[in-house]
Chain A
Amino acid sequence: MASYSRAAQQWATFARAWYLLDAKMQPPGKIAAATVIRLEGRHKPIYHALNDCGDHVVIINTRHIAFSGNKWEQKVYSSHTGYPGGFKQVTATQLHLKDPTAIVKLAVYRMLPKNLQRRTLMQRLHLFPEDVIPEDIEKNLLQEIPQPRAVPKRLDEYTPEEIAAFPKVWTPPKDFRRK
């Protein structure tokens, strides 16, 4: 813009923004994909790997993420303490009950590029298990990232008018005993 000085224009282009993402009923992989794009700064046309143009992302409701399939029982998170006999394997359920932010944190960490920038970008990620956010972070938030998955409606969330408007697909025979 012509009216701003060069320093002010540069300051505004490279300013770091704070984004909010609600992880309720969302798969952690898609949440991680959306956050990694924002953390690296790939959503900006001024992106370059050396530019340090990434933004902050605040993820809330990590306790209420939803895995597709039977991954809660089948997915295993492994680690080794470094000591002999220290190989630990934990299912996703056990890990989630122990630490509700760990699954999303690991998903984002493993999706970031494997370079020295990864640790600094993880410092710009803020995870909260419920929707309670500290005041100073809440004041910084700029925009909400749209949720990657469309959450389906439960049967009791439909209004009676919608249920009545849906046609009956089959008619029961006259001697049908409905329990």
Chain B
Amino acid sequence: SHSGFPSLFTFAVVEVTEGNTTTIEGRIIEEAEAPPPPNPSGQCPICRWNLKHKYDYVDVLLLSQFIRSDGGMLPRRVTGLCLEEHKKVAVCVQMAHRAGLLPNHRPPLPEGHIAKKPKLNRYLTRWPVRSAKPIWKRGPKWCKKPFPVGHPLLKDNVKYTQKPLCLNH
């Protein structure tokens, strides 16, 4: 909405033309009252809303509340998350970015530079794409080198199936 200098409050710029006078006015947006959380005695937003082990990289509506417009995480002292939840959310946000679920939260590119679209679909990627090296020799059947999938921080998430969560394929 605004560029250049940062501002203290979020406001909307309203331009009104009456006859030969144009009034440009910035109205401070009052954010609507949030509904009360189910567990007001929690320390961080996740505990207050009873989401402790219940979110994943797929829940973009929740994760998008903790990211900047260029995709980076907001600082913990601002969002109020506890350390372990902040790390979990950061990991989920990274996996969501790599899966292509947050297409509009991209860093601004220098002018003229066209972003190239990723050709391959992926999900639950633990490591950055450019840092992963091929596993040339996986080893014999009794000690194969596994492919890491997902993240160990999310291993306590609620499971709705009886199958155990597999972090190494």
Q: Point out residues on A near B: beta carbons under 8 Å.
A: 25, 64-76, 89, 91, 93, 96-97, 152-156, 158, 162-163, 166-179
Contacts and interface: CB of A to CB of B under 8 A. Distances in A.
A67 B98 CA distance: 12
A169 B101 contact: no
Interface stretch (B15-23, B109-117, B120-128): B120-128
- 9 interchain residue pairs of minimum CB distance: A66-B121, A69-B149, A73-B132, A70-B132, A152-B58, A170-B45, A169-B45, A166-B61, A177-B6
Interface string B144-166: 00011110000000000000000
B13 interface: no
A163 B125 CA distance: 26
B70 A179 contact: yes
A75 B46 contact: no
A73 B65 contact: no
- Binding site secondary structure of chain B: loop
Range of interface residues on B (Cβ < 8 Å): 35 or more
B123 A68 contact: yes
Contacts of A177: 6-8
Interface of B: 6-10, 31, 34-35, 37, 45-46, 48-49, 51, 57-58, 60-62, 64-65, 68-70, 78-81, 99-105, 119-127, 129, 132-136, 138, 147-150, 169
B48 to A, nearest CB: 8
- Binding site secondary structure of chain A: loop
Contacts, number: 125
A69 B135 CA distance: 13
14 contacts: A69-B122, A70-B126, A73-B134, A89-B136, A152-B101, A152-B123, A154-B60, A155-B64, A162-B61, A168-B31, A169-B65, A171-B31, A174-B9, A176-B78
Given A67-B122, A70-B129, A91 B104 contact: no
Given A66-B122, A72-B122, A175 B8 contact: yes
A163 B34 contact: no
A165 B99 CA distance: 24
A170 B82 CA distance: 13
